[in-house]
Structure 1
Amino acid sequence: MRNAVLLVAAFALLGCPQPHSDGHSPETTTTGSGASTGTTAGTDPTGAGEPTTGTEEPTTGTEEPMTSTGAMTTGTGGDSTSTTSAGETETATDTGDPAEPIAEEPIGYAALEGGTYGGAGGPTVVVATYDELRSAAEDSDDPLIIKVSGTIVGEEQIYVRSNKTILGLPGSRLQGVGLRLSEVHNVILRNLTIEGVVADLGSGDQDAITLKFGTHHVWIDHCDLRAQPPGEPFVVDDNDEYYDGLIDITRGCDFVTVSWTKFTDSWKAMLVGGGSGEVENIGKQRLTMYNNYFLDCLERGPYVGQSEAHVFNNYTRVTRLTGHTGNGVSLRDNARVRVDNCYFDHTLVDDDGMSPSVPIITGYSTSVGGPGRVTNADSNIFVNTVEPQIDGPPDDFVPPYDYSPIPAEEVPATVLAGAGATLPIE
């Protein structure tokens, strides 16, 4: 396991670690109008089995907690946020500093038990249309590095097979196209902008990124995920499910890391575990999240059930008041979540009593087996928020890997400088 500070420039073009070399040079392929670059050779296993399609995920209703405005806790954060006397939070300014060098490998669970290296060792293909992307992602489990060029528009999700790295070239985006990983392993998704994925277009639930049915060893890094354009109502045509979540991880997935990813303008950001009925989640669903930016997401930053999650150095910011009492890091069904050195900055409650999201909440009336358990809640900074709602004593969960969190007060500036699709991939 590399330490959090170990960064490697040699793979700046690939954005994925290199397995042991076998001395062979992989093929390089160009599809569509983009130009391709070669990849470093390596040896890596291939997955087995076709991805399962057409399987319905159970619908799980979640009751939101009723929250009093309570006393607000404040922290002394960095210079990136401030509050006016009228209670309005000024917009944080991106410093424009370059993002950190491209990491060789993820920190956390995706780096354990053999690691996650995606399509390293396979050829590279550049795709510029929906059909090209679908063919590249779905045709086989052979290692492949896929680079997305330009804007790709579609209305159906794409099933990503095992041993794939999908990289977004600067300025590229997937519009209305979700990526679905079902019964696969060893996948890296980096520098992708995905927006406007509608929940149900006749082929089942659709998120920007969906992990299901035992999918394992996945690294989602430096992505920019958005449900709808900024400022638009969260409820579309009286339907708060018009857009589903930005990332869902359910049905016994495992060894997942989400890093440097920006979640914006969504009712629901990220779900980990689809309810107490998913017994296949027990002992799995292990997740690491770090240096992510949640901006104006009303719920699920993330929402964790029957899982172990490690959340550190994330920046959660809420600037919109909708009358809906939402949540930030939320737990249920005996989930264990360590929350280290995060920064929560929420808009003040207004004169009509509308409340922002609760930054951390452990208990739900729907929880089976009791509320979730939080470790290290006191390490976080809470600015302009209602009180966290933490039931029960602190937990002592320690993740089984090394990591080096920065101080919570440094999180806003650091995350704003690097989160999202900011990598200079060529």
Structure 2
Amino acid sequence: MRLTVIGTGYLGATHAACMAELGHEVVGVDVDAGKVAALRAGRVPFHEPGLADMVARHTAGGRLRFTTSYEEAGAFGQVHFVCVGTPQRKDGDAADLTCVEAAFADIARHAREGALLVGKSTVPVGTAARLAAAHGSEVAWNPEFLREGFAVEDTLRPDRLVFGVRTRRAERLLRRVHAPVLDAGTPLVVTDFATAELVKTAANSFLATKISFINAMAEVCEAAGGDVRRLAEALGYDDRIGHTFLRAGVGFGGGCLPKDIRAFAHRAAELGVDLGFLRAVDAINMRRRDRVITLARELCGGTVLGARVAVLGAAFKPDSDDVRDSPALNVAARLGLDGADVTVYDPEAMDNARKAFPLLGYALSLEEALRGADLVLHLTEWPQFREVDPGWARELVYRPRIVDGRGVLDADRWTAAGWRFRALGRPVPQGETGWTGEAEGR
């Protein structure tokens, strides 16, 4: 089929390339001429495993191309996917639909008769019906469920597809688009607009709630002397609960969960439904960052003033260069304001981190970040951070002290190598031998 994808950011570029991979002819549309030029050259302006090779292969083969022209896209496509962002509004918790509304208006103006307009963006319930009425076009909603770092896999082999449609024709077109995926046995839910819109926000809200639940249990463990890792292990064996998303740490960030739960609670309130528990979920998540800062101060003798702090991680999660609402950078910046000399290292997100927080220090390598540090904070779960040899790291730092903000490091291994080790929701390791003084007196 001939498809267009409106918006070539994280979602749009991934969707366009994967639709080409499935055998369709695809045109990606964006108002950013620089982004279009990069994609035409086969370059992806963000990090996502496997995507750059796919874009380069299909642009070179002619199955995938990019343009700034809505006229060109409208004349080309049978089905138009709208994949633009819906950030949080600057004046409150609601979603900003400016880009979605503009994209639908522009493609509806130029689409040929009979074209189907399909929303993939995460929007407040009621948006699809309003857009369909406003533009007089046939509309469907097909929410995305991509995980950064796994977006190609999640598009080509999703755990489910959801079609929000009002006509049999729209369902048939979407089935044709996704035929290879459906033929592989992917479950399909065909439903109404409102339910399709709610699936994504409900899913993100559930995941955020599960993460904040175990982080709240970490707070209880700290107060009671328990170990949240053992608690999570025991809970996870219950099939009704499961182990995924049940690991305590510095909390979630990124461009989806934080803004989506706030927008969902806001929209529900507009509809007369109180989802106040989501505000508690948000609050628990944010105070985990506070707890990391408290542990940092405690390890540094009560203050981080003058301490050299190595922050391992800038992206909000591994296998991504996305620093939006990154817990790691939030903690790093706050420690910098407290007088710490902060150095950040991340394998992929350095450029984005520098743009977002230009006053922080940045290292070119893990070794450079660790050298001379009074304190190490492990805040993004990259494999190379998880696998670092604590003996090797101790030879580089000035004071062997570490806070594991992701709950994945082996406390016994680090303690045996002479480190003072702290992690959220876990007891202080027995037999610590690391240095216990303050940062002054180098």
- TM-score past 0.5 threshold: no
TM-score (norm 2): 0.23
Counting helix residues as a fraction of each chain, which structure ranks higher? 2
Counting strand residues as a fraction of each chain, which structure ranks higher? 1
Taking CA–CA contacts closer than 8 Å with sequence separation of 6 or more, which of the two structures ends up with the larger relative contact order? 1
Q: Whose radius of gyration is greater, 1 or 2?
A: 2
